[in-house]
Structure formats: C-alpha cells, structure tokens
Structure 1
C-alpha cells in the first residue's frame, strides 16, 4: 500500500532545570531519565534516537552525578543516537541581553563540539515569545530553521489550542527577521507533547491516533506530520518501538518513523519543493490573540531578579570583557576559562522559568547565589585587568606635584565617548602591618594624615571640581601571587567628580594632589574644608539648583510640583513634558505569569498627594532633589483570592477584590541632574508593605504617535500603541531591554531603565509610558496551586531610570546611545606615579557611525583575534568607520560564532593598514575581527 503520509515521532524531554520543584529535585529526576535512556539505547536497537532539548547543560548536570557513565553517554552521542546543542541552556530571549544570547549559542556549540556533532536546530519549544532578530542570529550560526511553541498561534489554559487568530495557515511557515534573514519556522501547533505516551494496546492506540492524526493534519502544510514524544520532565517511553508497531497495524496508509529533527526538516523541505508558505515577520509575541495567555507579565515578576541579571550581564559583557582586552593588549591576561565559568553560571539563571521569576521560592533563592557567584568572578577579572592597565598608564606627568600624589584612572567601556559623574575610593596613606608597628601606632599615623588642601587635576593640570569624603581609618590587604596576604591600615577617601570626554573603549587619567606652589593652608583656601567634606576647586561653576524645587543645566530644566510630580523642559526642542513621575498602584489577583487587576477597580495615583521635597545634593557637577510620599494603599487582596487560588480558578475569571485594610507605602524618589547630562536620572526607593499589587511610574509623552520603539535583542523594534483587534486583556504590557521611546514631530521621550523590563504605552490620549517598578503576587500559577510568598517582594525595593528628551529621533539625536551607556557602570582605580607605554588619555579602538550601536569587544579563544560587534538600530543602511593604533595585520567579517565569513570580506574597504569602512545593512548584526601582530 502506498504511504500517504509520514508520521515523524521524535523522542525528547523538555527539561526545565528548576520550576515547580527546586533545582536538585528536578536534577534527581534527570539522573533517572538519562540512566534509563542509556540502558534503552544500549539494549533496544529499535529505539533509534533521542533529542536532549537543544541544551548541552543536560550533559553537565548528568555527569556531575554520574561521571562513571561519561563514555557510555559520549558513545551514543557520537553514534548519532543522542542529539545535542545548539544552546548551552534554553533561555528567555526577551529578558536576557543580546550578548547573553550570543554567548549562550557560542558555549552550546563549544560544548557540543567536544562530544560530537552540534545539532543545527533552532530550538525554542516553550520560550515566552520570540524576538525579531532570532532569524538573523540563527542564519549567522548556520541554522536555517526555528522550532517554537508560542508567539504566533494562541494558546490558552493548559496549552489548549484555539483555531482562531492564526497568523500562519499552517504549522510550517517562513519566519523573516527585520534584516530580511529567513528561516523555516515549525510551529508546535499541537504543542511539543502531541506524541507523548503513545499507547501500545490496540484499542487505546486506536483512539489516540484517530485524534492525534486529525489534529496534526489540521495544521500541516505537507504530508510530513510531526509528533513530539515527550513533555516537561517526561520519563522515557521505553516501549516506543512496540507502540510504533501497533500504530503501523492500525494505519497502514501512514509511515510511522522513529525520527529526528534533521530527517524531519529534510523531508519537509522536499515536500515543500515548488510551494510557498505564509511569511511571518519580526517579533512573535502572540499579538493576534486575546492577550490573556502571552505570559508577558513574567517581565515584572520578582523584579529584583531582572535587576541582578542586568547588573551581572553589564559587568561581564560591557565591563569585564573590554577591560580584559585592553589589559591583554598591554601586558595583562585575558582569562577565557574564568569568562566561561562566569558566563555559564549567569546563563544558568536564564531559562524561562528562572529569569521569568515564575518558579517556587526555593528556585529564586538559589538564583541569587548564582548571580553573586558570576558577579564576583567578573569583579575579580575587572580588578586584575585594572591592575594591568593602571600599571601600563604613564602617570609620570603628575610627579611635578611632589610626593603626595594619588593618580587614578577612569575607564569608559561603553562604545561612545562619555562624560558623567564618577566616584572612586582611594587609599590616601597606607601602613602595612608587616612593618611591625603596634596597632595603636598604625592607627595613630593614619588618623594623623593631613588631607586638607588637596585638589583634583586632569592630565593637563586643569583643576576639576571635586567632592572629597573622608572615610577615616580603614583596613585593607593585598593578595600577592608570590607570598602570603599583606594586611594594612589605611586612611581612605571617596572622590566624586565629573569625568569629561573619556574616550570610548578607553581611559582618562587624573590625580589628587597638593597644588603647585601652595602650602596646605593655601590650597585649603581654594575651596571649603571640613573633617567630613573637603571641596577643592578654583573657579566653581554655577549651581544647578534654581530654588527649592528646580534644577537646570544647559539642556534640561526640571521643576517639581507639590505632589512630587514634575515637569521636564527640553531646551533645544522647546518641548515641555508635564505630570511626570506620578506613581500608579493597582491590585493584582494574577500570578507570577500574568497580571490581573480586580474587576471594576480604579487605579490609585499620587497625583494630588502632598509630598516632602528637599534639595539633597548641590555640587558644581550634579544636583539632586528628594521627594518623599507616605501613601495609604490596600494591604492585600481580600480573602476570596486564596479561595480562588486553591480552587485553581483561571485568573481572568477571578472575582477577588482588594482588602479594606490599608498599610503605608513609603516612597522616596531622587531626581538627579548632572551638569553635562542629556537626561534626568530618577531613582525610586520603595518600602513595600503591601501584597497583591502592582506599582508603576507614569511618564506622559503628550506626543502624536501611533507607534513607539523599544530596545530588544539587537533591535529597536517598532510596536503599535494600539493592540490588535483580537486583544481582550485590558493590559497591553510589553517587554523591553534598555529603553522605550515615544517620538513625534521634532520631539521625543526615551525612558531608559536598569532591569525594569515591563512597560506599557497607555491608551489615555497622552501616550503615557508606564514603567513597572514592582509587582507583588503570592502564587506561581500555571498548572496547579503553588504558593510563593516571597514573590510578594516585601521590604525595600529600588528602581533606576533615565529620562532622555530629544528632537524626535532617538537614534540620530544620541538618546539611544545615552540609554545604552546608562546600563554600564564607570570603572575607576587608583594608580601609582610611574612611566608607562599607555598615554594618560587612550582609546583601544575608535569608530563612528550614527546608526550603529556598539555591542561588544572580546577576544577569540582560539585565534586571539579581537572581535567587535555592532548592530544597525534602524531600517536604513548606515556607514561604519573603524581605526586603531594597534599593530593590525588584517580585518575580516565574522558571524556570531566568531568564524570568518570570507565571502563577506569584499565589503571591507581599508583606509590604510589600521582603518576600514563599510556599509552597515538595515538592522544588520555585524561582527568585525581584527588580527594583531
């Protein structure tokens, strides 16, 4: 009989490392699963193959407990019966940085290559939506497909399939990224468990296949039907060969194959020859659904996790890697092994059930430990790199100031020249305990150190306005590589000042000195001196404070109203933004996955609520206003919420309301304006005493715009302000990375953030940007009742934002670049007076290109080449120019796996041995390799 269709049955498990159980409880189940798999593969040749969920960490987790089975596991991988890679872990792409996604792909390929062939499968089975640049990322990695379960079709409670609202007619489609990259998309239209637990017994199998074949045929564009034999933490179906034989008896018209992804893809492509599929473009966010099942509010579940992740990512990719490159170029080390460890530790927090904050409390406690481990490793790399860099910088020019000279180096690891306020701690004097003085004498000497009269100068000798805080007697220690630790007593000071025009990927040198030709008393007279605060300046710039409620610099004017809201004037455009900084509070009877406001509830706001307003900082380079509120809000949801949670009432159908009892929510908001700043910093301190609620800050744009732009993975994605007609959820919250922007004619407002990854453009006639600062809920949600009291996020929480008004084009005005710089901390270190081969002002690499955003600078492990990456923020081609003083032997274009793409090198136009220029395509992700002598 001629077979009419082929049923591809692919055995797998979707392995959430941690979720409704703590990591180790899932880990034990993984050990049992892989033990069973190895036994089955060795003893049952009819069980053909198994897919390891696209993530190589499964191998690490298994061998950690079963190292004796390494050879057994490797043998099955190399014989092509276990498919591994291409990822290290299955991440949430919206909540992890672009570079984290690249490192994840690189590490997955690196690890898979050790054991066998890398599976070139773009695997996203349960990712909560997909970013628009994934097709380009896949193509650059040599992957021409993407398998996914969410983002195009609607899925409801328990992943039931709806037949309405499809953006593609079939489960097979073409997915096109904003740059034009295309991959074959395979939508798990019947989920990634549609072939799970296939019956062996005839009657049960007959019912099973009658339903499953009909479901698959409903969405399949070809005669190749996909059945995924597995699900979340699914034990192995060891009798699958017998189940397939039963199916063959029941349906002789179907060829049942224990298949794998490469064979399935080849069969689909063959069947599609000469046919066309629907093309889906850009982000896959379930836009054409009712909005209740998008899981988008995981962006605001346990905000503290997102903040720790932002800090860790920035420290690794934007600070540690570029500093290690500069150090390596000038005598230091680039510790590839430490970067691998730090990145893997961080990436272990990036699976969707982890970084999304939608697991039980024990999971997220362990995540904090991983965040700290990764961050501390990066700190150590930075410290070593700065030691090498400061040792190479020529600070001998400061010797003219005498013996009491404390040089310091400020580094800018962003991709753009930078001016801003920096803070550095210095040891003004040290006394080592090895010198044998009594501890009391040590302390006396340090306390007697005279700090008065000193000033801060740059490499040209210009005096820099500087605030110096005497931190008093302190303890420190050195950890030499060649001897025992060296403790000391010291007199520590903290300097705060404006570092101006520090070059991109470079440094500028300063020194704290006694003025030339002045005694200590004369130097002190140049500023104001006290035991705790010593100001040392000559010509002091005008204060930024204008009365008790107003700050102003050359670009911005901010005025605070009696209720703590404020107006912000952008002087170049003349646009005034009003009613900014109002807090909004609503109840939340949803869960870690989705926000749900109680029916009929009106939002509370601080509009009209009296605030205490004070000037908290007034220096020549920066000024701050502090705003405090004591706000009575409902203490929690009413008792009905727990009843509905226990009864597993679907959250859109809940009837709970907020309780009548209230608590005081204490809010402290600091507005900070720098002298040269293009934006206004907003820092919120929240003493959270309430449960079951959401807190947002509102920024009305009052600009006519039908869409807005938002930072996503290697893309400024454009999204409509109005949801699709199918959308029913009253909330239209969305994901962001570094910022969101609303622009109109000749004016625009960019709101940047640190780890605040949920926003909404309100449909209030003002195009208000609402940024979620805190969401408090008490249950995990999804398929059962899992209480999560720590998800209420009680206690002090913080939120950091930067408001950047501009002329209507966030990219060409520089607002986007400033928003990216906001993510990156300054790095400063004390130096000594010595000669060196690095000048006092230095940049490793210089580049220009208005439409380009700089993304990374790192070293390739195998070749030692420099790898620099940019992406085009716009849909228009742009020009990129690059030059360096390094001993270059050649430039080339690379893909995201850091492999040279020789056929693309014709695009490079060299302007001498050390410079090049090229065209950057629309939305292109571009990686340039530099070979060094």
Structure 2
C-alpha cells in the first residue's frame, strides 16, 4: 500500500478471515489451515525458518508482477549527478580526511551529520528518483548542494591541519583512498623549483599551463563596491594576507577614460614583500609616508576614504612571494590513506599527438573520426557514438514513438587537438545534430527540427590507460533520450555493475509483465563492466548492452556494444496509457524541469581490460588532495595513517567516543584475508554492538560486510 496508512477496517477483515478458516477446517479437518494476523517485521522474521533455505542467485529485479519503473535511473540527470557528488564528497573525501587528519574529529562530526541529514532527506523515493514536481526537485538539488559544500568545508579544514603536522616544508599530497597511488596533479611552482626540476629530470616531468606574475591585479572597482570587494578578498579568498599597503595616486589610464583618483590596495602575505614593494616605488617621495596596515586597519581606512570621495576608483593588487607557474606534474607514489611531501618525478609514458586528430601515450591511443564524431581506441573504431531517440514516456519509464524516431549521425563534426602533452593531451569534438524539437502529437505530427551542438573533450594522461571524457551541451530539445555507445572488442553475454556493498551480474534481458515492458536498461553506482570495457561515470546511472546477435533470452546470445544514457528528457511526471506502461505510475502532471533544457556537463571515463574497476573509479573521481606544509610538525615526509588491504573500504569514520571505525566489503564472491597493518580492535555490527576482537588480520567470507572499531594507537 504505497503512500497509505493501514486502513481502519484491516483488523476486522483479518478477524473475519480467521473465523472463516476456523469454520472451514472444522468441517474439513483434513484441509490445511491458514493463519493470518497483523504483526511487526521483527515478529515475522523471528517466526520464519533460517536454516536449509533455498538459494536464488540474481538480482531479484523484475517487472513481471509489479512495475519496476526502470526509467527513474535516467530522468533528471542533474539530480543523479548532484547525488553522486554529495555521496562521494562525504564518503571518500570529508569523512576519511576528517577522521585521519582533523585536530578534533568529534568537533567536526556535527557538520558531517548535518550534511548526511540533507542526503537522507533526499532519500525519499520520489525525491532521489526525481519523480516529482519541479519545485520538489529544486529543493532536492539545494539539499545536495548544501551537503556537498559542507563536506568540502570539513575536508578543507582537515587538509589545513594536516599541513601543520609534517617536518618538511613543501607541497603536501594526501591520499583519501585505501590504495597507493601515483597520478597527475596541478600545482603552482616557483621559478627556482622549475629550474631544479628541469636540471634533474629534463623536460618530461612538467607541463606548463600558465604563468603567474609576482604582482597580480585582481579588480578595479568604484568606491561604492570597493570595500565589499576588498573585504571578500581579504577574508575569503586570501586569508593568508598579513599586511596591506594603501597607495593613492592619480590615474589617467583607467577604464572610465578620464583622470580620477585611484586608491591601490596592495595585499601581502609576508613582510619582506612589503619592503620590496616600497623600494620599487619610483614616486615614493610624492606619495609620502606609507605604513603597512593589518587587514582590519586597511578595511577601516578604505571605508573612510570611499565615503569621503565617492568618485574614487579602487584597484586591488595581490603580491605573491615570487612569480610562479601553474603546471601539471607527477605526484610520485602516495600511500593509501597517507601523505607525501611532493618532489619532482619523471613520467614514463608521455602523451604526444598522432596527426591532427589523435593522441597516444604508448599505453592507449585515441583518434577522432571527423565524419561521424566518434573516436577509435587502439585502432578499434566506433567509441563515443551518440544516438538520440524521441521519448514519449515520463519520469518513470522510457517509451519510443511508433515508428521510432532515431538520429544516429551528426550533420557536421569538427575536431582539434587542444593539448598535446607531454603529461596531458586533450581532443575536442564539436558535433551538430539535427534533432526533432519535441515529440510528435496529434496536432503537430511532424515537429520542427533544431540544431543541437554537442561538445566532447577526450583527455589522455601520461602513465594511464584511461580516457576521461566530458560531454557538454546546452540542451534545446524536448522529449528525447541521448545515449553514447561503445563497442565491445570482446562480445559479452552479461554485464557487471557496482551497487551498494557489491557487484551485480546481469543478463542481456529484463523480465517484464502485462503492466510494464521488460526494458534491459540497468543502473550502476559508479561503474559498469562488459567484455573488455569498463565505464566509470559521475551520476550517469543507466546503461544497456546492445547490438545483440540473437534472442536476448538465449544464453548463447552476446552483445557487441554498451550504451550509456547521457540524458533523458520528458515533459510528464506520469502519463498513460503509453506503449511501455499502459497505466499511469503517478499523477498525470506536465513538467518543465524534467525536459532538462539548460547547460549540462556530463563526465565519464573508459578503460580497456582494466583489472580493478574500484581502483579506476577512485582514481578518476577521488583524486589526491594538495596542501602546503609549513614544516612545523613531527611526521616524516611520507607515511600512512591507515594501511588496510584485502577488502574494499566503504567508510572511515569517527564514532561518538572518538574511536576510528572502518567499514569494508568483499565484492568478488571469494573468501579473502583482510589486513589492517599494526592495528587491533573489535568487530562490531551496524548498530555498534561488539561481535568479537581482531588483531591485524581477519578471514573474510564471500560478500561479507565488515565493520571494525580500532583501538587507539
């Protein structure tokens, strides 16, 4: 009874049934008697047998007897992306960093609780499934945004505290995941650091992105806006500022075009830069006595001058310790749940262009086909094939037109290499598709067509066999489903996708029934595998194995491609009748937001023959975090806070008593040995009840979910 309380007459009906059963079995003693009573779930579970049970392998996912409503995984992709980001930021960034590095993890716990509360509030099924009015979905997105920002704040605080714990000064790399990792990082390097790196390693260790001068003009504003702009810079953007110089002069070369007084606000993070700036002022005598002010003093004087002279212009200037370069470089190995002070490392598999539309790093090669906007991987064509079809369904179910309206090719495709390496290469594909503007109706059986531009950027990094892909578009079209197809070099009879605490293997077919088509579109949490292909994504939850060579019910049938749904747009919360589901699944209300007519950025990555999809997902979506060590702590330049292996780590938490809690699962269906190096503690259940002790190593059952409470070190 979805959305209903138990009816008032339920107890009367049960009593009448029991009375009839008593009468029936009294006249037919040989008949089996049926008992019916109202009880709790706990009472029911205590009454059923728990041994010698039948085994059923599979997902128990079927639309044969009740509507599965599988289309909820692909509607409102903005909600699915926001959910993925919020969960990932909490689980794989804020919680582990706070637990391992915060000065007082218990102090930050209320913030994490608040963020999780927003996620839990969104767990109501019509909220997370986005089968709701636009106003409800707006609130869902707002809650996810608050949860994500709160989690980022907790993580930033932990990184700041970690930066005070290391002996050596320098760039500090933190690994929020369990596996040791070496990856590409983006950092600011001083001229001296660049020179030292070039001398030691040559050219292959760095890729320059941008130069940053020692003196950087941030803003030129009016007196009306100046105090607020400067306050924002001092408080939020550059809180490291310790000294401010206020220099007032006449400026004839301003944007207004006439001579006006300009008050320059020079921001410094150390006293040496202030002295250097004073020495560099050629008109120091004309300016008179200048005094280095604190940020608070500077804001006070700035406010007074702006009030005295409303025509004043305010120029904000930021001074760095020295000129620097924004660059890509290699991190070096960072232990799982550990840290490392960065030092230059050389990449072994450098990126280089292969003609006007290709890239390679020796591990994987990619080349764009400018005829259809697809790309080849290691010589195999057809990756990234975008296919768009008209959808007359609703937020619950996809439904095609009859006959189907499908667009398989762009009108025009342009491609270019926008980065050539040596550490990162990027290819850009701009494709123009002529799509039906909306689904045909009785009054408009032949809809007009719109030109929809889709931009795809493919990124290849040194030392990685991964292609990271970003597809962006300003969606103008209604009532459609857009999917991207990838060929399988090894045809597949099943797929394997991540779900909560495990992997689920699925066949090519899905079971339907009289009230719903059995559409074999399935959900995945972060990744899906089929044949030689692994796809990991950010909230693009729906996939399907396609290009079948036979009947999907035949166990010998295989699929030649995987389709990943990028977006599905509909104008109905629910509707009916429609071919894929004859009866409505909810209120028959029209929606605007579910058409997704707005700019969208969709991210995924692919790899061939990748041995560990969990490692791939963590590498792509949970990168190393970067701080700046002042060299004031006691920890060595490299180490691990928690060395754990043998299971997939799902959570690293702090309980209410301050103990470190680790939750893991075994995903592969094999017995395993879990190891927590140098640690002991208690095995606990999900409620925190103690089940028994452990010391460093533990035998694990297939598919076991395990929670450990670790003793203090």
Aligned pair partner of 1:490 in 318, 326, 341: 318
Deviation at 1:566, TM superposition (A): 1.4
Quickly say closer, same or farther: Cα 1:663–1:335, change in 2 above 3 A. same
Query: Does 2:118 match 1:325?
Result: no
The aligned counterpart of 1:859 is 654
Quickly say closer, same or farther: Cα 1:375–1:704, change in 2 above 3 A. closer
Deviation at 1:878, TM superposition (A): 2.1
Tell me if the contact between 1:477 and 1:485 (Cα under 8 Å) persists in the aligned partners.
yes
Deviation at 1:491, TM superposition (A): 4.8
The aligned counterpart of 1:548 is 356
Tell me if the contact between 2:351 and 2:460 (Cα under 8 Å) persists in the aligned partners.
no
> Which residues of 2 match residues 198-597 of structure 1 at below 5 A?
198=9, 223-225=34-36, 259-263=39-43, 269=47, 280-286=56-62, 288=64, 293-328=67-102, 335-396=108-169, 407-424=170-187, 454-455=193-194, 464-470=205-211, 472-474=216-218, 476-478=233-235, 490-491=318-319, 494-510=326-342, 542-562=350-370, 563-569=372-378, 577-597=380-400
Quickly say closer, same or farther: Cα 1:540–1:314, change in 2 above 3 A. closer
Quickly say closer, same or farther: Cα 1:685–1:264, change in 2 above 3 A. same
The aligned counterpart of 2:253 is none
Deviation at 1:296, TM superposition (A): 1.2
Q: Deviations over 1:814-870 (max 9, x none)?
A: 3432123323243222343x2321222222122333xx32222121222x2222222
Tell me if the contact between 1:544 and 1:675 (Cα under 8 Å) persists in the aligned partners.
no
Query: Normalising by the residue count of structure 1, what TM-score does the alignment of the two structures yield?
Result: 0.58
Deviation at 1:468, TM superposition (A): 4.4
Counterpart CA distance in 1 for 2:638 and 2:448 is: 60
Tell me if the contact between 2:72 and 2:397 (Cα under 8 Å) persists in the aligned partners.
yes
**Higher RCO (CA-CA < 8 Å; seq separation 6+):** 2
Deviation at 1:332, TM superposition (A): 7.0
Quickly say closer, same or farther: Cα 1:803–1:323, change in 2 above 3 A. same
Structure 1, unpaired ranges of 5+: 1-12, 16-191, 227-256, 397-406, 429-450, 513-536, 570-575, 644-656, 911-915
- SS of structure 1 residue aligned to 2:182: strand
Query: Does 2:584 match 1:790?
Result: no
Deviation at 1:490, TM superposition (A): 2.7
Q: Deviations over 1:158-204 (max 9, x none)?
A: xxxxxxxxxxxxxxxxxxxxxxxxxxxxxxxxxx76x524299xxxx
Counterpart CA distance in 2 for 1:731 and 1:274 is: 34
Query: Does 2:517 match 1:715?
Result: no
Q: Deviations over 1:271-296 (max 9, x none)?
A: x579987655452321656xx93111
Quickly say closer, same or farther: Cα 1:548–1:730, change in 2 above 3 A. farther
- SS of structure 1 residue aligned to 2:353: coil
Q: Deviations over 1:195-217 (max 9, x none)?
A: 524299xxxx8899789999xx9
Deviation at 1:883, TM superposition (A): 1.2
Tell me if the contact between 2:62 and 2:510 (Cα under 8 Å) persists in the aligned partners.
no
Deviation at 1:261, TM superposition (A): 4.2
The aligned counterpart of 1:736 is 524
> Which residues of 2 match residues 756-771 of structure 1 at below 5 A?
756-765=540-549, 766-771=559-564
Counterpart CA distance in 2 for 1:338 and 1:735 is: 30
Query: Normalising by the residue count of structure 2, what TM-score does the alignment of the two structures yield?
Result: 0.74
Tell me if the contact between 1:866 and 1:931 (Cα under 8 Å) persists in the aligned partners.
yes
Query: Does 2:586 match 1:799?
Result: no
Quickly say closer, same or farther: Cα 1:552–1:541, change in 2 above 3 A. closer
Quickly say closer, same or farther: Cα 1:415–1:274, change in 2 above 3 A. closer
Q: Deviations over 1:654-688 (max 9, x none)?
A: xxx97430011110001111111121111101221
Counterpart CA distance in 2 for 1:708 and 1:374 is: 32
Q: Deviations over 1:455-481 (max 9, x none)?
A: 1879x9868414242464346335789
RMSD: 3.7
> Which residues of 2 match residues 84-99 of structure 1 at below 5 A?
none
